[in-house]
């Protein structure tokens, strides 16, 4: 799956995206690209065979929700 108009990941973001065991909880301050990292994590799960409808994503803001939706193809929502 292609992510629409996204910049590369930092090493720390890459490690979060490729997390293998258990739940991934990411806490960081404003402007640290948490949502950006989450979009890549969703893509990774879908590429690994998870069905999009089986992935639950929680955000605290409508802005983050809209950002995620704008970066994923319609068939992945």
| pLDDT tens by residue, 21-77 | 888 788 888 889 988 899 999 999 999 999 999 998 888 889 888 988 888 877 665
* Overall number of domains in the chain: 1
In a domain, 25, yes or no: yes
Closest to 38 measured CA to CA, from 1, 11, 67: 67
pLDDT of residue 5: 57
In a domain, 50, yes or no: yes
Residue 5 or 28, more confident = 28
| pLDDT classification of 20: cutoffs 50, 70, 90 | confident
In a domain, 51, yes or no: yes
Q: Determine the structural domain holding residue 31 and report its residue range.
A: 11-76
Q: Kindly tell me if the per-residue pLDDT of 6 is higher than 90.
A: no
The answer for 33, left when phi > 0, alpha when psi is -120 to 50, beta otherwise, is left
In a domain, 43, yes or no: yes
pLDDT of residue 1: 57
């Amino acid at each position: 799956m292609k992510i629409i108009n996204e910049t590369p990941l930092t090493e720390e973001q890459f490690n979060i995206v490729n997390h293998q065991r258990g739940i991934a909880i990411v806490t960081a301050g404003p402007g640290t690209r948490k949502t950006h990292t989450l979009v890549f994590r969703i893509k990774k799960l879908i590429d690994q065979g998870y069905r999009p409808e089986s992935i639950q994503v929680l955000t605290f803001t409508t802005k983050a929700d809209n950002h995620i939706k704008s970066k994923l193809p319609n068939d992945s929502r």
